[in-house]
Amino acid sequence: MSDLPQFVEIHEEGPREGFQIEKAAYSLEDRARLIDALSDTGLKSIQVASFVNPKVVPSMADAEALFARINKREGIHYTAVWLNQKGFERAAATPGVHLAGSMTLYASDAFSRKNNNCSAEEMRQRTLDWLKLYDDGGIPLKRAYILTAFGCNFSGEVPLATVIDCVRFIIETCRNQGRDLPEICLADTVGWANPEDVKRRVGVVRETAPGARVGLHLHDTRGLGLANIHAALQMGVDRFDSSVAGLGGCPFAGHGNSRAAGNVCTEDMVFMCHEMGLETGIDLEKLIEAARLAEEIIGRPLSGKIMHSGSLTPYRRRPR
Amino acid sequence: MSDLPQFVEIHEEGPREGFQIEKAAYSLEDRARLIDALSDTGLKSIQVASFVNPKVVPSMADAEALFARINKREGIHYTAVWLNQKGFERAAATPGVHLAGSMTLYASDAFSRKNNNCSAEEMRQRTLDWLKLYDDGGIPLKRAYILTAFGCNFSGEVPLATVIDCVRFIIETCRNQGRDLPEICLADTVGWANPEDVKRRVGVVRETAPGARVGLHLHDTRGLGLANIHAALQMGVDRFDSSVAGLGGCPFAGHGNSRAAGNVCTEDMVFMCHEMGLETGIDLEKLIEAARLAEEIIGRPLSGKIMHSGSLTPYRRRPR
């Protein structure tokens, strides 16, 4: 009936996504508390912070101090984001940062120009420079992101052919450089994906790069996040980025709000997986507690559902 | 790849579900304004009010006046809910009420006992009494609801065999009485459904009653509403109950909140359908305006997503 995976791997991005987007400042103590709570849930990969220009993103200025403060557990990858060489060097110099190399491609040229002030083609060349840097540091290439893989607010529809072209660039680069294919992660950067299109785009990535693992980074901007995840699960996709409590956006900032909306909510996704009999290695009840802590820290209702309704566990325990 | 229907039929329940559950009183004027706005969207079926005991549900005491006030359009069914003969007689005496007969079965005996103070079996007998009443009034049987078809907060899991038993009761009743099979509507009354279980339960209804149309009434209690709808669409289900703006619950009433959560949000579902190329006959932009009106009337953020993020229409219109 479908190719549902048995085990689903989740990369938690809430702490970085959530606090980076907020205007208010949150204490190092609170942010570390949330990350420590997440470390206790069974999550194996948690994005802690960005090493970016503190003048541009003041909320991430203390990334080094945050990494020093959290209770780092064996077996968990604490990851970070960097956008330039200086950021990468800061991350590399910070104890406890799990360093993994990635390629970042843009399916929308307009989006690349607005965000990076240079074309998608130039960004491809830069990603080749990054590969050299990672090689010099002995850091393996783990993942290739295709951003705006489902559509773009500046240029509209993204043709399947453009996604295929990005995948081919990844394949050729790896072939030329004698590398294994990294995971190919389709990112729905601005919330365009729908379930049937997820199946279609995952399908063309599979056809173009049969040997590659496929991952998804989805935003729940328009409420289709879990429907999109389920469509991907049906295609056998078993790796997703997500944010505890749906951290990372503000769905109630008013109509026509242009702020990025949050990633798919981690605990809602874990609930769905468990209900369908798929394993995640995560303790849902502990994750719900972490989501409630996130809401308490942020100080306004967040978009996660299960954290408000509760899971079905207490009802299943009742005598019949 | 799947059995997606070409056209999806939606029964809007927001005005009845939404205002019935609210403690605050909303003016007749406001409620009529919302229904008139919905009448302008292309929806063909709108549940306006309940004819129930005004002492128990004061917010619905003026059901007759509301029906008199709304701008009733040709081609739209304005429906109502009744729970006893007195309510039915009030509905039948009110101009403009679309009268349709239904059977209501309970897959959970515990839920029936808590809600009706009598067993699921006794409720089956009462539904036979209702059929007589409808026949006397010349009112056709349109739908058979199986409540708590996915699980129950009082008794836990609902076995597939119980759903099959309910379907067989419907089939036998219709056979004995020489009736056509009504639509069989599985209701996830307390938010237990997951996408794979939707496929499974729709499948057993199809196997047991091959001739029947299947519909779904889903609540978004745990965030899986649209994933469940998409799973049902993949099974060819083409009729859903839903609520504009997600009216009908309060997702932010706090942890462990036992209030019923809202139905699936109509405009989010319509957005998903349209994005996947399925027709609904509904003008999404007008529906989003109606959802914003609902939020304005209720006076707090409602759970719908598209009403806050906007659809993709303006981005598609931009020059490339």
Backbone φ, ψ for residue A247 (5° rounding): -50, 150
pLDDT in tens, A33-57: 999 999 999 999 999 999 999 998 8
Compute the distance between CA of residue B106 and CA of residue B120 in angstroms, rounded to an integer: 5
**B111 domain residue, yes or no:** no
- The closest CB to that of A272, out of B194, B220, B268, belongs to B194
Q: And the tokens for B148?
A: 């708590």
Compute the distance between CA of residue A230 and CA of residue B41 in angstroms, rounded to an integer: 30
Give the chain B residue whose CA is nearest to the CA of A259. B309
- The closest CB to that of A227, out of B230, B254, B307, belongs to B230
**B113 domain residue, yes or no:** no
Q: And the tokens for A176?
A: 């030329």
Rg (CA), chain A: 19
**B117 domain residue, yes or no:** no
Backbone φ, ψ for residue B83 (5° rounding): -120, -15
Residue A2, pLDDT score = 67
> What DSSP string runs through B275-311?
HTT-B-S--HHHHHHHHHHHHHHHTS--S-SHHHH--
**B105 domain residue, yes or no:** no
Residue A17, pLDDT score = 87
ipTM: 0.94
**A193, A148: one domain:** yes
More confident residue, A260 or B249: B249
**A23, A37: one domain:** yes
Q: For chain B, list residues with pLDDT below 70.
A: 1-2, 249-261, 317-320
Q: Which residues contact B316 (CB under 8 A, 6 or more apart)?
A: A156, A157
- The closest CB to that of B316, out of A157, A221, A265, belongs to A157
More confident residue, B25 or A80: A80
**A151, A200: one domain:** yes
**B137, B193: one domain:** yes
B-facing residues of A in 75-94 (CB < 8 A) are none
**DSSP 8-class letter at B60:** G
Q: Are A71 and A34 in contact (CB under 8 A)?
A: no
**B223 domain residue, yes or no:** yes
**A95, A121: one domain:** no
* Confidence at A259, pLDDT banded by 50, 70, 90: very low
Catalytic choice (A185, A250, A265, A273): A250
Q: How many independent structural domains does chain B possess?
A: 2
**A148, A49: one domain:** no
Which of B210, B236, B262 is the endpoint of a domain? Answer: B236
pLDDT in tens, A232-244: 999 999 999 999 9
Q: Which residues contact B136 (CB under 8 A, 6 or more apart)?
A: none
Nearest-CA distance from A21 to chain B in Å?
17
Q: And the tokens for B100?
A: 């349709």
8 Å CB contact of B192 and A312: yes
**B54 domain residue, yes or no:** yes
Instruction: Kindly tell me if the per-residue pLDDT of A252 is higher than 90.
Output: no
**B109 domain residue, yes or no:** no
**A95, A132: one domain:** no
8 Å CB contact of A307 and B255: yes
Q: What is the biggest distance separating any 2 CA atoms in chain A, rounded to whole angstroms? A: 63
Nearest-CA distance from A281 to chain B in Å?
19
Give the chain A residue whose CA is nearest to the CA of B306. A222
**B227, B130: one domain:** yes
8 Å CB contact of A276 and B154: no
**A57, A164: one domain:** no
8 Å CB contact of B312 and A151: yes
**B89 domain residue, yes or no:** yes
Closest by CA position to A46, among listed A71, A21, A20, A80: A80
Burial class (CB in 10 A: 0-12, 13-18, 19+), A207: exposed
Range of the domain at A191: 101-236
- The closest CB to that of B231, out of A230, A251, A301, belongs to A230
Using the Cβ of B159 and the Cβ atoms of chain A, whether some distance falls under 8 Å is answered with no
Which of B236, B265, B299 is the endpoint of a domain? Answer: B236
**B163, B253: one domain:** no
pLDDT in tens, B268-315: 999 999 999 999 999 999 999 999 999 999 998 888 999 999 999 999
Q: Which residues contact B186 (CB under 8 A, 6 or more apart)?
A: B146, B149, B150, B163, B201, B202, B205, B214, B215, B216, B217
**A295, A308: one domain:** yes
Question: Any bridge partners for residue A104, and if so which?
Answer: A145
Tell me the CB-side half-sphere exposure of residue B244, using CA atoms within 13 A: 34
Q: Which residue type occupies B5?
A: P
The H or E element that residue A82 is part of is: strand A77-82
Per the annotation, the verdict on A250 as an active-site residue is yes
Compute the distance between CA of residue A236 and CA of residue A212 in angstroms, rounded to an integer: 12
Residue A124, pLDDT score = 97
**Tell me, what CATH number does A137's domain have?**
3.20.20.70
Backbone φ, ψ for residue A165 (5° rounding): -60, -40
Using the Cβ of B146 and the Cβ atoms of chain A, whether some distance falls under 8 Å is answered with no
**A109, A229: one domain:** yes
A-facing residues of B in 164-183 (CB < 8 A) are none
Using the Cβ of A198 and the Cβ atoms of chain B, whether some distance falls under 8 Å is answered with no
Using the Cβ of B316 and the Cβ atoms of chain A, whether some distance falls under 8 Å is answered with yes
